Every structure is written in structure tokens, then in C-alpha cells.
Amino acid sequence: MFGEPTEKNSVAPLIVGLGGTTRDGSSTELALRYALNEAEQAGARTMLFNGQALMMPMYAPEVPHRTAEAQAFIAALRAADGIIIASPAYHGSISGLVKNALDYTEDMRNDAAAYLDGRAVGCITCAYGPQAAGTTLVALRSIVHALRGWPTPLGVGINSATCRFSPEGEPSETAIADQLKIMATQVAKGAFAMRAGLAAARKPDRLIAVA
């Protein structure tokens, strides 16, 4: 899923997933992949930027140069109809890796849809314990609000001490699997609605002849 959207009808909305850790196959990344798969089941195209793909230079607004990875990341966010963000809990909040990636949305400040405006955004957090999962989820949803995104009604906080992922990426807790499916479906529905609304807005007004 990284690099190119999954193959689907080109009119299907694009959902971009970003997150994970510097370690491939982390619980956070597996949860994100699971959610993106559910979004695909709901009819969306998806694109993944995992932790390795997010290892970009520290965001510096005064530096005009952007790496190829940063340019590809921002281009994907600009094309996205919906977004799913997954962060591990580091010291009670989101990781520096995910925060730095989100800082790059400052390059979108002058877009017609600035930052994450008009996009449904699903949030996932993973922590070794319920407290940090909750505080990190609150922090992540607050950041999405600040970036003008629309957090889905359901956010998913995963306690990695009790919920494990199989080698195939299946969560061990049915409740977590259900929550990820619900959240991903909410993102997909929001993305479909946004795509339909934009299409309707672009149609020319019909002129009604008056006899």
C-alpha cells in the first residue's frame, strides 16, 4: 500500500494512513494496516506511510527544500479524502515521529483546503497500559481539530499489554477489531460524502427558462 494507492475505481475516495514507529511491524503499524484494510472493504482506495516512510528531517518552516519523501507525503495528504493516523504513546502523548510528520501539514496552510480541512480523520493510539492510550488519543484528536480535520466519533485506544496482533495482523481482542472496523468505516463514509459533495459543487447551475 505504500507509494501508490490500492487499485480501485478512480472515483473511489482515497484514504491515507500514517503512523507506526521506527520499527517495522509494530503494534501501531499493524493496527493502522488493519484499519486501512477495513476502509478498503468499505470501498475506498488506501495509501500507507508507515514509520520508516515518516523518518523525514525535522520540520523547519524557514527551510524551503523538501526531501522527495516529504514531497510525496504532502502530495498524498493533498489528494486524500480521508486520513487515519496511528501513534504509539510515548510518555503519555504522541511520538515525535508522528508529530513531526503532522508538522509538515504547515506546507498546506495556503491550500484551498488548508491543513486537513474537509477530511474525516480516524485516530488510533497504542500504549502498554490504558492510561497512556487514553491521554494520547485525546492529544491526537486535539491536534486533528487544530488542523481543521474532522475526527470520527470513534477513536481507538489500544492497550498493547492485553491486545496482541497475530503475524497476519489480526488483533487478539474482538472488541478492538470491531472498534477499528467501525472507525475505518466512519472515515470511509465521511470520505465518500466529501467526494460526493465536491462533485455536486462543481456541477454548473441549471438555468430554468421562464415562459
Q: Considering the domain boundaries, does residue 9 fall inside one?
A: no
Query: What pLDDT, in 10s, does the model give residues 64-85?
Result: 899 999 999 999 999 999 999 9
Average pLDDT of every residue of the chain: 91
pLDDT of 195: 78
As a whole number, mean pLDDT of residues 158-174 equals: 94
CA 172, CA 37: separation in Å to the nearest integer? Answer: 17
Lowest mean pLDDT across 112-126, 140-154, 187-201: 187-201
> For the domain that residue 185 is a member of, what is the CATH number?
3.40.50.360
Q: Considering the domain boundaries, does residue 4 fall inside one?
A: no
Q: Considering the domain boundaries, does residue 1 fall inside one?
A: no
pLDDT at 139 over 50: yes
Q: Considering the domain boundaries, does residue 198 fall inside one?
A: yes
Count the domains in the chain: 1
Q: Considering the domain boundaries, does residue 3 fall inside one?
A: no
Q: Considering the domain boundaries, does residue 211 fall inside one?
A: no
pLDDT of 210: 46
pLDDT of 104: 98
Those residues with Cβ within 8 angstroms of residue 119's Cβ, 6 or more apart along the chain or in another chain = 80, 81, 82, 83, 113, 149, 150, 190, 191, 194
Q: Using an 8 Å Cβ cutoff, are 158 and 133 in contact?
A: yes
Q: Considering the domain boundaries, does residue 210 fall inside one?
A: no
Q: Considering the domain boundaries, does residue 64 fall inside one?
A: yes
pLDDT of 201: 52
pLDDT of 100: 98
Q: 90 φ, ψ to 5°?
A: -115, 110
pLDDT of 77: 98
Is the whole-model pTM more than 0.95? no
Query: What pLDDT, in 10s, does the model give residues 33-60?
Result: 999 999 999 999 999 999 999 999 999 9
Structural domain that includes position 149: 14-202
Lowest mean pLDDT across 1-5, 53-57, 92-96, 164-168: 1-5
